[in-house]
Structure 1
Amino acid sequence: MNITITKTTHPGTLPPSDQLGFGTVFTDHMFLMDYSADKGWHDARVVPYGPITMSPAASVLHYGTEVFEGMKAYRRPDGGVQLFRPCENVARLNRSCERLGLPQLDPDDALQAIKTVVKVDENCVPSDPGTSLYIRPFLYGTDPTLALHGVHEATFAIILSPSGSYFKNGLQPVPIMVETEDVRAVRGGTGEAKCGGNYGAANRAGDRAIEKGFSQVLWLDGVERKYVEEGGGMNVMFKINGTVVTPALTGSILRGVTRKSAIELLKSWGVPVEERLLSVDELFDAAASGTLEEAWCIGTAAVISPIGELSWGDRDYKVNDNKIGALSQKLYDELTGIQWGTKPDPFGWVCPID
């Protein structure tokens, strides 16, 4: 794929790491590529970061024809830059496109686009411990009509955001509450797709949890309201009586790349892992009996976010005395070590941008 590159004439300056936060600072450039039913994907380009022009009638604004991904680039100790399992993100993006009726990307072209725009803004990949360059590929319908039909025009874009350390004071366990009113998704819906509508519809429950002093919610399935599915924005794992249990991918749970990597790591260490239905009753019975040894959310942004307290109605339990567990810490250290290039990568997960 031929990608034209137009560089900005007003380059910015990377702020100090303690001022980066998450998703608020952006690099000088972005990637854009257009789609039409008659021409397919065309006009791949890296251009200066700035507003995107579209018709007020664009289908994304009215019918939610949008999907996105979240991934990172990391600065290695030798100064090089690498990605972590980018082909998994590209494959998931295409699965999301298929579900939302959006045109899919050639996987090699998508990876080339990601590597190219990161290479152009390579100087914006921070190097302080815990920092990274967050990569947000997204794809949306641009048909300029209010008629309800399939997508015939679309844009694929990638923006980059230098991000600070997610945990400024170490891995602090967080309290979460079981959501009993709203549901995130149902099988056959869009739960397995990474699309904006899923997250927008989850905000109300998240806000309620924060008002009650919790960090996020724990979603139950949308049919029986019985089985644990996900955390507020991440997959979840529980160590119960020596076995790591994580909700099965039944069609309403996002196929997390970090989740998949953790499962492969745990199995390589000989830790028993079960991907299965986990009822909220079983989970809280384990918490009451003391067999719930550790619990954590897992995803790209935080990697591992330990759960220190679980709340469901009038049942509240501390997990591991509100401290991070040994296995959670080991997973975090191993995953981040591979990502930042400070530990060996026996799985072939990292992808240099050079």
Structure 2
Amino acid sequence: MPAEDRAARMADPLFGTVFTEHMATVRYIEGKGWHDARIQPFGPMGMSPATAALHYGQEIFEGLKAYRTPDGRAQLFRPEENARRLRESAARLSMPEVPERVFLDAIGELIAVDREWLPAGPGTSLYLRPFQFASEEFLGVRPAVEYLFGVIACPVGAAFPGGAAPISVWVSTAYTRAAPGGTGAAKCAGNYAASMAAQTQAREAGCDQAVFLDAVEGRWVEELGGMNLFFVFDDGAVLTPPLSGTILPGITRDSVVTLARDAGHPVLEQPYSLAQWRADAADGRLREVFACGTAAVVTPVGTVRSADGEFAVGGGAAGPVTERLRATLTGIQYGRAADPYGWTRRLDG
């Protein structure tokens, strides 16, 4: 693609709509394993109407970013954790696991050939979408014997060009995201499809995101449709719902837990009810709430709405703990700050 055309497409891309020129693919056949790894032009992939993934839902994916450091190099953030989570998702859906080396090589080779698509503007990045699906032409309720693993990429602008404004959330009581024994801890397509009805309700209520409660009692806060939640109290403690099989183990979540502890905050991983959330916000004990994930990094939550009314947290403004954690995390991701944890992985030079 001519440089001027690429620059025009990268000028202000809407998330997930502009893709780089190439993609990585690797195929799997039972008895042969992973093979036929290649970089090829980005474009349609021919598949049969009887492709198993279309009928039985064996499809998983990941999300991570490549960042441009101050010296112009490309850098990943904890990609080994994405590779691990993809393997865990595969195991839950009875799919063959993609080896870490294959996962990392596919990303590295794709970025090498599409290096010019790595944005340079403040807060921009190259979003990477590894995915895996059952590609066998077969109708029948059993694990497929053929799969395709791929990686595509899209340049994305700053999530919050003017700063991270607090979002509003709608408490979903009509729908649940996951149940014990289900696929809540797997990053599979069906989980996101199941969350869309609640997200539609959230938009109709004037909210940005839906927050889900547990499926058993309907009282414990779990997570948003695509982000984990954190609560900051007046004594400096930080609480996040525990990973109990119904919550996606976010890599950003895990990073925030580490950063908060190292900053001197006691971090509690324990259940937290909607009723307690409302009460703690009312008496001022709860000072801040934020959500975190790959796309939006760390996002303050200002207003909570439900069928029972609404309430605000911290006056509806972003709090200092949220802002410090976000600044520390993005500093490491973009190479502006030291990485004492060994989280970053340079791809060139």
TM bucket (normalised to shorter chain) is over 0.9
1:63 aligns with 2:67: no
Q: 1:334 aligns with which of 302, 325, 328?
A: 328
* 1:195 has 2:183 as partner: no
Q: How many residue pairs end up in the alignment?
A: 347
Counterparts of residues 118-197 of structure 1 (less than 5 Å): 118-197=111-190
Q: Does the Cα contact within 8 Å between 1:209 and 1:215 map onto a contact in 2?
A: yes
Confirm or deny: 8 A CA contact 1:21 1:165 kept in the other structure.
no
Q: Aligned residue for 1:3?
A: none
Please tell me the residue identity of whatever aligns with 2:247: I
Q: Within 5 A, what are the aligned runs for 1:7-86?
A: 13-15=6-8, 18-86=11-79
Higher mean Cα deviation, 292-301 or 277-286?
277-286
Map of 1:290-309 to 2, 5 A cutoff?
Answer: 290-309=284-303
CA contact (8 A) 2:177 2:225 kept: no
Q: Structure 1 166/148 Cα, relative in aligned 2: closer, same or farther at 3 Å? A: same
Q: Is the 8 A contact 1:31 1:158 kept in 2?
A: yes
**Is the Cα contact below 8 Å between 1:31 and 1:159 reproduced in 2?**
yes
Query: After TM superposition, where is structure 1 displaced by more than 6 Å over at least 4 residues in a row?
Result: 8-11
Q: Is the 8 A contact 1:139 1:156 kept in 2?
A: yes
CA RMSD of aligned residues (A): 1.5
Q: Which residue of 2 aligns with 1:4?
A: none
Task: Tell me the alpha carbon deviations over residues 66-125 of structure 1, each in whole angstroms, 9 at most, x when there is no partner.
Answer: 000000000011010000000000000000000011110111221111111111111100
Return the alpha-carbon distance in structure 2 between the equivalents of residues 26 and 225 of structure 1: 40
In structure 1, distance between residues paired with 2:5 and 2:80: 30
- % same residue: 44
Instruction: After superposing the two structures, state which structure 1 stretch, 194-203 or 101-110, moved more.
Output: 101-110
Structure 1 residues 194 and 262, CA, compared in 2 at 3 Å: closer, same or farther?
same
Matched letter for residue 40 of structure 1: G
Q: What do the CA deviations read for 1:179-208 (whole angstroms, capped 9, x no partner)?
A: 101000012101000011000111111011
- Report the CA distance between 1:284 and its aligned residue: 1.2
Q: Which runs of 5+ in 1 are unaligned?
A: 1-7
Give the aligned partner of residue 103 of structure 1.
96
Counterpart in the other structure of 1:210: 203
Q: Which residue identity lines up with residue 96 of structure 1 in the other structure?
A: S
- C-alpha separation in 1, matches of 2:80 and 2:61: 14
Contact kept, 8 Å, 1:134 with 1:162, in 2: the verdict is: yes
**Contact 1:126 1:133 (8 Å CA) reproduced:** yes
Counterpart of 1:303, as a letter, is: V
Deviation of residue 159 (structure 1)? 0.2
Query: Does 2:341 align with 1:347?
Result: yes
1:222 match: secondary structure = coil
Question: The residue matched to 1:19 in structure 2 has which SS?
Answer: coil
Q: How many angstroms apart in 2 are the aligned matches of 1:129 and 1:67?
A: 31
Q: Distance in 2 between matches of 1:9 and 1:303?
A: 32
